[in-house]
Amino acid sequence: MKCASCGQKIETTFLGKLVGTYIKDANGKKHPICFECQRAFTKPQLLERV
């Protein structure tokens, strides 16, 4: 599994879960995002909520 943002390999936990998250694009398609990019993606959203 590769990060859709930075292209780095995303590690999975022993349960098979991504160390990161999925984001949906405008078409509703899921893209895997690594932990580092997840932080970058969620930051603006958190700011918007505040």
Tokens of 11: 């590690």
Grouping H, G, I as helix, E, B as strand and the rest as coil, residue 25 is: coil
Residue 37 near Zn ion by CB under 5 A: yes
Asked if 4 interacts with Zn ion (CB under 5 A), we say no
Binding segment (CB under 5 A) for Zn ion, from list 11-19, 21-29, 32-40, 42-50: 32-40
Q: Which of 1, 6, 19, 40 binds Zn ion (CB under 5 A)?
A: 6
Of 48, 36, 41, 47, which Cα lies nearest the Cα of 11?
36
In sequence order, what E strands does 1-50 have? 20-24, 30-34
Q: State in angstroms the smallest separation of the CB of 39 from Zn ion.
A: 10
Q: Which residues bind Zn ion (CB under 5 A)?
A: 3, 5-6, 34, 37
